[in-house]
Amino acid sequence: MSTPVRDPAALPRLGWTLLALVLLWPLLRLTDFRPAALFEAGNLQAMGHFLGGFLPPETAPEFLAMLARATVETLAMATAGIALSMLLAVPLGLLMTRSLSISRLGPGRGGWVGQILRGLARGVLAVLRGVPELVWALLFVRVFGLGAAAGVLALGITYGGMLGKVYGEILESTDARPARILLEAGSGRLAALCYGLLPNAAQELVSYTVYRWECAVRASVVMGFVGAGGLGQLMDQSMKMLNGGEAASILATFLVLVLAADGLSGFLRRRLA
């Protein structure tokens, strides 16, 4: 019997494997990949000392009071940030929704004003969420000084971009016929939104917002590292002073907070479903 044809995938596979290996080398060099560094005496000592300080976690009353304040501040930052982001997201998201366009009803492809506005909204949203919240926070700390205000504004801007885009997408993907019928019957955009789109989309919109709130809790912790208040700022200070006990308490608080936010958001979203 004849020998089977050669494997047609053999050459491409060989090529890709070689390419991957060739690329891996500069990756390792660029990232200064030295696992041995983890075991160097100096690093081991620093880490050991720090981790050794973890036990016992700091429980002095005045520190705990500070911790509690920072925790509440973190939660407040997340909540205020999301509230602020809605101010951006709702109008921009609605602007992007084609099912609410009146000019598209008539014959033709719709007014060019509407199209330009929609494109503009899309672009603004892309820039808002394109710059990470931490960079915004770093910039705002320069303007407003250290503290939660910078964090809230940064969250508001980035999450405004994300929520606006997703709101637009959700509204676009819901059944547009009820809204269209209302618009054709001469009702306004707001009425078409409330009676035509929201009944079908509300649950998904709320669910996504809750999910984003959960992300915002994490993000507001992190933003503390650039001086925007909350648990992160406390953690940053403790780390800089290599105070293991405080860091352990903060980390534990932080884990509980994140898991609780996770749980609450999951619970709310299940209730909505």
Partner 1 sequence: MRAGISLGALLAVALLLAAVGASFAFLDMPLGALFTGSAANEAADFVKRFFPPDTSVDFLAKVAWAALETLAISLLSTLLAVLLAAGLALPAAGRQGWLAGQVARFSLNLLRSVPELVWATLMVLAAGLGPFAGTLALALHTTGVLGRLFAEALENTPAAPAEALVSSGAPALATFLYGTLPLVAPQWLAYALYRWEMNIRMAAILGFVGAGGLGAQLYYSLSLFHEAEASTVILAMLMMAVVVDGVSAWLRRASA
Partner 2 sequence: MGFSLEGVRLTHANGFHALRGVDLHVAAGERVALIGASGAGKTTLLRVLAASLRPTGGRVRLLGGEPWVDSPRVLRRLRSRIGLVHQSPPIPPRQRVVTAVLAGRLGQWPLWKALASLVLPVDPEGAARELARLDMAERLYARCDRLSGGQLQRVALARVLYQQPELLLADEPVSAMDPALSELTVALLNEEAVRRGVTLVASLHAVDLALRHFPRVVGVKEGAIAFDLPAAEVTEALLRDLYAAEGALPLAGEMPGTPAPGLPPLRCA
Q: Where do contacts with partner 2 occur on this chain (CB under 8 A)?
A: 1, 3-5, 7-10, 13, 17
Residues interacting with partner 1, by CB under 8 A? 26-28, 30-34, 37-38, 40, 42-43, 46-47, 50, 72-73, 75-77, 79-80, 83, 127, 130-132, 134-135, 138-139, 142-144, 148-149, 152, 199, 218, 221-222, 225-226, 232, 235-236, 239, 251, 254-255, 258-259, 262
In the complex with partner 2, the residue whose CB is nearer, 16 or 267, is 16
In the complex with partner 2, the residue whose CB is nearer, 9 or 36, is 9
Q: Which amino acid is at 261?
A: A
- 4's contact among partner 1, partner 2, none, with CB below 5 to 8 A by partner kind, is partner 2
Question: Taking the complex as a whole, how short is the minimal distance between the CB of residue 14 and partner 2, in angstroms?
Answer: 8
In the complex with partner 1, the residue whose CB is nearer, 46 or 105, is 46
CA distance 28 to 44: 22
Query: Where does 29-162 show beta strands of DSSP type E?
Result: none
CA distance 7 to 17: 16
Which residue carries 């390792």 as its tokens? 28
CB 93 within 8 A of CB 164: yes
Which residue carries 């602020």 as its tokens? 84
- 148: tokens are 């939660």
Residue 59 phi/psi, 5-degree rounding, is: -130, 20
In the complex with partner 2, the residue whose CB is nearer, 7 or 62, is 7
For helices 198-223 and 61-96, the axis angle rounded to 10 degrees is: 140
Question: Taking the complex as a whole, how short is the minimal distance between the CB of residue 22 and partner 2, in angstroms?
Answer: 17
